[in-house]
Amino acid sequence: MTAVEADLDRIRTLEIDRYRVLVDPPRTDLLAIVAIAAQLAEVPMAAINLITADEQHQVATAGFDAAVCAREDSMCNVAIQESRPVIVSDARVDARFRDNPFVTGEIGLVRFYASHQLRTPDGVVIGTLCVFAEEPRTLSREQETALGQLADRVVDVLELELRTRELSQTIEELERTRTELERSNSQLQAFAGQVSHDLRNPMTGMDLSLSMIGEELDALPPGGALPEDLPFLVERARASLGRMQGLVDDLLDFARVGGVRDDRDVDLDLLVQEVRQDLDAQLRDADLTIGPLPTVRGDAALLRSVLQNLIVNAATYVRPGERPDIAVRAVEAPRGPSVEVVDHGLGIAPEHRERVFEPLVRVHKHLPGSGIGLATVRRIMDSHGGHVSIQETPGGGTTVRLDFPASA
């Protein structure tokens, strides 16, 4: 087989796959066409044959049971290579067919044989519509023309089913998109409302502190000493501003996940060490055990955000007077690399372990936090084709598991 022939076979097989007639049950519309073809030619048998690289598939037949045979045994394998319809009164005296097993009796006893190509709109010949009999005969010019028109209708039927299927898939996709859009809009409204609420609290505190500072300064007599509580009020205003800035930064981190990733091999051992350095002040009173950890494929900046969020949470949500005890370790997994961030802190009740991945959800409201960190973690892991889940640490606490895809 030449390279050109191999390429034609590949294209033909791809076209046949698009129509899905080899995987679906016999279709009534194709069965009706072969029955009409047999009646039109006044012969007992007709078939629609599709030719793949190795086989002939009889996808619809009249007068006999459909079967699959080797391509080299197929009479239609000859017909798809001809430039015009093949019509043979007696195949025993035709050099192309006289040794064919469908003629010699090894598979059949075909004598009369007429075949028209099935050509797609792109010009690819995928098979034939053929009629045949076990006695020699001829066709009139009108019968030959009508068989050619029927062959064109076979392709029309296949194309109609394909376009209908594609349209149905498009409608389903549009419906899924509409449903997701409605869900996203609803979530966005709730998200915006919660953000507005969470920003309003520090803004109110800062406004109150600044108002009190203004009142005291207005009441200050010329040359008088500054009020003793002024540093306290300034510090309270700065704290409120810091909480606002933290929330805005978290929101920006959450929004950034939807951008273009810069994927590369990321050594998580090295990444966690960098996070440890960045969090030196917050981890000064914590015990942190690291690794060894795997190398994964992903965006280093985003994965750093994942680990930083989880380690900060582990260092924050502890019982009063207890020293944070945190471990970042690799665990065996059947599919791809997995990492756990383990703490022995306050823990998360089972009914909240999924809800905490929603934006602005906070379980331990008496401790500082925006409620966006775990939502950002999930969004980043989803964007990498991975998964994040929460379990209870034996003895109490939270274990967050990061499962990366095998391709990573």
Confidence of residue 156 (pLDDT cuts 50, 70, 90): very high
Q: Which residue has the tokens 């949500």?
A: 317
Structural contact between residues 407 and 336, judged by C-beta atoms closer than 8 angstroms: yes
236 Cβ contact partners less than 8 Å away, ≥ 6 residues apart = 205, 209
15 Cβ contact partners less than 8 Å away, ≥ 6 residues apart = 120, 122, 124, 126
Higher-pLDDT residue of 96 and 353 is: 96
Higher-pLDDT residue of 81 and 231 is: 81
Judged against a pLDDT cut of 60, whether residue 255 lies above it is answered with no
Judged against a pLDDT cut of 50, whether residue 228 lies above it is answered with yes
Q: What is the pLDDT of residue 153?
A: 95
156-163 contact pairs (CB < 8 A, 24+): 157/29, 157/30, 157/33, 158/19, 158/21, 158/118, 159/120, 159/121, 161/19, 161/27, 161/29, 162/18, 162/19, 162/20
Judged against a pLDDT cut of 50, whether residue 295 lies above it is answered with yes
Structural contact between residues 45 and 30, judged by C-beta atoms closer than 8 angstroms: no
Residue-range domains of the chain with CATH: 3-167 (3.30.450.40), 181-254 (1.10.287.130), 261-403 (3.30.565.10)
Q: Please tell me the distance from the alpha carbon of residue 213 to that of residue 237, in angstroms, as a whole number.
A: 10
Judged against a pLDDT cut of 80, whether residue 195 lies above it is answered with no
Judged against a pLDDT cut of 70, whether residue 368 lies above it is answered with no
Structural contact between residues 80 and 127, judged by C-beta atoms closer than 8 angstroms: yes
Q: What is the pLDDT of residue 258?
A: 54
Does the pTM surpass 0.85? The reply is no
Residue 118 CB coordination number (10 Å): 24
Cis peptide before 25 (omega within 30 of 0): no
The stretch 226-245 carries a mean pLDDT of: 73
From first CA to last CA, the distance across the chain in angstroms is 40
Q: How many CA atoms lie within 13 A of 214 on its CB side?
A: 7
Judged against a pLDDT cut of 60, whether residue 370 lies above it is answered with no
5-48 pLDDT, tens digit per residue, is 888 889 999 999 999 888 877 789 999 999 999 999 999 999 99
Exposed, middle or buried: residue 114 (CB in 10 Å: 0-12, 13-18, 19+)? Answer: buried
Pull the structure tokens for residue 251. 């929101």
Judged against a pLDDT cut of 90, whether residue 383 lies above it is answered with no
Judged against a pLDDT cut of 70, whether residue 210 lies above it is answered with yes
